[in-house]
Amino acid sequence: MLDILADRTYRHLFLAQIVALLGTGLATVALGLLAYDLAGQGAAMVLGTVFAIKMVAYVGIAPIAGAFAERMNRRRLLVALDLVRAACALALPFVTAVWQVYLLIFLLQSASAAFTPTFQATIPDVLKEEERYTRALSLSRLAYDLENIASPTLAALLLAAMSYDALFLGTVAGFLASALLVVSVVLPSPRAAEPRGIYDRTTRGIRIYLATPRLRGLLALSLAVAAAGAMVLVNSVVLVRGLLGLSASDLAWTMFAFGAGSMTAAILLPKVLDRVPDRPVMLTGALLMAAALAALAAEIALGGFVWLALLVAWFLVGLGYSAVLTPSGRLLRRSAHPEDRPALFAAQFALSHACWLLTYPLSGWLMTAFGAVAALLALAALAGLGVVISLSQWPAGEDEAIEHSHDNLPLDHPHLKGHRTHSHSLVIDDIHPRWTNRF
């Protein structure tokens, strides 16, 4: 897996991702402490609003940013967005009112909503071979999982010697380091062959996404990921501290079990995906998440709930979580021309976070109103519904389809005979495997 780091451009981009993630993790810790300073016992409401603002920015800004990304030099755009994020983080220690926090977080997360899909869309243009790109996706998943461990640890070490304001300076340093690493390499910036209007550019990514069967299936699986992930992220503290009566350190180990499952899958997936198509791997991952939640609900309902059962369940959810998320970039890569990738990655970014915007509050409400068993069963059912919808929308046998366009082929062309009608003007859709070497 690590051999792809020999590519200088990808190596610098991967390091940029790591330092930006570390900076973001430090900011998450610092924001909690800042919210308590500003609002005292109302800090939970402030943080809840901050996370809601983050999701709204992700859902609303990403498609618009994706529309303009195709018209700009990607390196300049990514560097500019890193500088905006650094400026917002630098201003946070000086705020004196809660509304100022909300404004800065909206600006910072809007920049992230533009940065992340553009960054993700650049990687397949740097690593053109699918095998190498698959390993890059696994490394990226590992980076996210390791950040969940490294950032709180680093924050704890820094807070032992300085105030929490210094954590924001660490965030600034992370974004500036990311900008320097991006500016140190030359990045491809594919452009559309013909100028496009603002409506076309703004909606193109979502139209391509929703017109492509495999991506409609991916959206349904994103709902399954959000359902299971929200149960873990929102309700673990209630399960550990409330139902089991365990300590804060036990909560940390419980979250580590989820991260360990995700990291295990990320390490194993490159070799698995060399042999098994994406669709069965991703569907199996989603089913595993749903089954783990349902089994844990049965365990609690039968009165045999122990910490080991929770650890095993969260490890399995982590396995399934990574099994769905890691290959998703491969589906997006296959479904668009290079110049359309920023818009398509932005569509995935926005639509997947819309799923989280639904499941975050749903998970908390179900646990508060009906208890753990009901919450687990309802979210397991929602994850299962995602699997059922994905099966109906994503036909089998399409994993090996390549990028292509039928725009210039007559309707009686032999390549089109026997295939269902596609939305040719919008999507690079699926093609029979026997033609994969002809285009």
pLDDT tens for residues 194-223? 555 555 666 777 888 888 899 999 999 999
pLDDT tens for residues 379-409? 999 999 999 999 999 988 765 543 444 444 3
Domains: count for the chain: 2
The pair of structure tokens assigned to 219 is 């959206």
Instruction: Note the pLDDT of residue 416.
Output: 35
Distances (CA, A) of 434 to 53, 223, 277, 414, 429: 47, 33, 16, 12, 15
Which structural domain, as residue segments, surrounds residue 296? 204-399
Same domain, 77 and 44: yes
Cβ atoms of 201 and 70 within 8 Å: the answer is yes
Query: What distance in Å separates the CA atoms of residue 107 and residue 105, rounded to the nearest whole number?
Result: 5
Confidence of residue 227 (pLDDT cuts 50, 70, 90): very high
Same domain, 233 and 350: yes
pLDDT tens for residues 90-139? 999 998 888 998 899 899 988 888 888 888 778 877 877 877 877 887 78
Q: Is 429 exposed, middle or buried (0-12, 13-18, 19+ CB in 10 A)?
A: buried
With vertex at residue 269, the alpha carbon angle to CA 346 and CA 264, rounded to the nearest 5 degrees, is 100
The pair of structure tokens assigned to 284 is 């199996």
Hey, what amino acid is at 43? A
Neighbours of 277 (CB within 10 A): 14
Neighbours of 388 (CB within 10 A): 11
Q: Tell me what the mean pLDDT of segment 357-364 comes to.
A: 87
Report the chain's mean pLDDT, rounded to a whole number: 80
- Helix (H, G, I), strand (E, B), or coil: what is residue 214? helix
Cβ atoms of 95 and 101 within 8 Å: the answer is yes
Same domain, 380 and 256: yes
Which of 188, 221, 240 lies at the terminal end of a domain, its last residue?
188
The pair of structure tokens assigned to 342 is 């920023």
The pair of structure tokens assigned to 195 is 């100028």
Same domain, 166 and 211: no
Query: Is 424 within the bounds of a domain?
Result: no
Q: Tell me what the mean pLDDT of segment 321-342 comes to.
A: 83
Query: Is 73 within the bounds of a domain?
Result: yes
Element containing residue 19 per DSSP (H, E): helix 8-39
Neighbours of 93 (CB within 10 A): 16
Instruction: Note the pLDDT of residue 1.
Output: 55
420 pLDDT above the threshold of 50 = no
Same domain, 36 and 154: yes
Which of 154, 188, 222 lies at the terminal end of a domain, its last residue?
188
Q: What percentage of residues in the chain have a pLDDT greater than 70?
A: 82
Query: In this structure, what are the phi and psi dihedrals at residue 332, rounded to the nearest 5 degrees?
Result: -65, -40
The pair of structure tokens assigned to 193 is 């062959």
Q: Tell me what the mean pLDDT of segment 70-84 comes to.
A: 85
**Residues with Cβ within 8 Å of residue 334, at least 6 apart in sequence:** 214, 401, 402, 403
Instruction: Note the pLDDT of residue 67.
Output: 63
Query: In this structure, what are the phi and psi dihedrals at residue 337, rounded to the nearest 5 degrees?
Result: -70, 160
Confidence of residue 191 (pLDDT cuts 50, 70, 90): low
Helix axes 213-237, 372-393, angle to 10 degrees: 170
- Residue 227 sits in a domain whose CATH number is 1.20.1250.20
Closest by CA position to 248, among listed 164, 152, 313: 152
Same domain, 240 and 152: no
Instruction: Note the pLDDT of residue 89.
Output: 92
Same domain, 218 and 181: no
The pair of structure tokens assigned to 94 is 């000086």
Query: Is 132 within the bounds of a domain?
Result: yes
Q: Tell me what the mean pLDDT of segment 42-62 comes to.
A: 76
pLDDT tens for residues 254-272? 888 888 898 899 889 888 9
Closest by CA position to 343, among listed 241, 165, 200: 200
Same domain, 172 and 47: yes
Query: Is 348 within the bounds of a domain?
Result: yes
Instruction: Note the pLDDT of residue 115.
Output: 85
Query: Picking from 65-69, 79-83, 156-160, 290-294, which range would have the lowest pLDDT averaged per residue?
Result: 65-69
Question: String of b and e for 116-150 (b: at least 16 CB within 10 Å)?
Answer: bbbbbbbbbbbbeeeebbbbbbbbbbbbbbbbbbe
Q: Tell me what the mean pLDDT of segment 163-180 comes to.
A: 90
Instruction: Note the pLDDT of residue 287.
Output: 97
44 pLDDT above the threshold of 80 = no
Could you write out the DSSP letters of every residue in 310-362?
HHHHHHHHHHHHHHHHHHHHHHHHHTS-GGGHHHHHHHHHHHHHHHHHHHHHH
Query: Is 329 within the bounds of a domain?
Result: yes
Same domain, 144 and 264: no
Query: What distance in Å separates the CA atoms of residue 364 and residue 376, rounded to the nearest whole number?
Result: 11
Same domain, 293 and 389: yes
Hey, what amino acid is at 44? A
Confidence of residue 26 (pLDDT cuts 50, 70, 90): confident
Query: Is 405 within the bounds of a domain?
Result: no
Could you write out the DSSP letters of every residue in 150-209?
HHHHHHHHHHTTS-THHHHHHHHHHHHHHHHHHHTS-------SS---HHHHHHHHHHHH
Same domain, 76 and 48: yes
Instruction: Note the pLDDT of residue 180.
Output: 94
Q: Does 1 or 436 have the greater pLDDT score?
A: 1
Q: Is 96 exposed, middle or buried (0-12, 13-18, 19+ CB in 10 A)?
A: exposed
Same domain, 178 and 285: no
Query: Is 196 within the bounds of a domain?
Result: no
Query: Is 65 within the bounds of a domain?
Result: yes
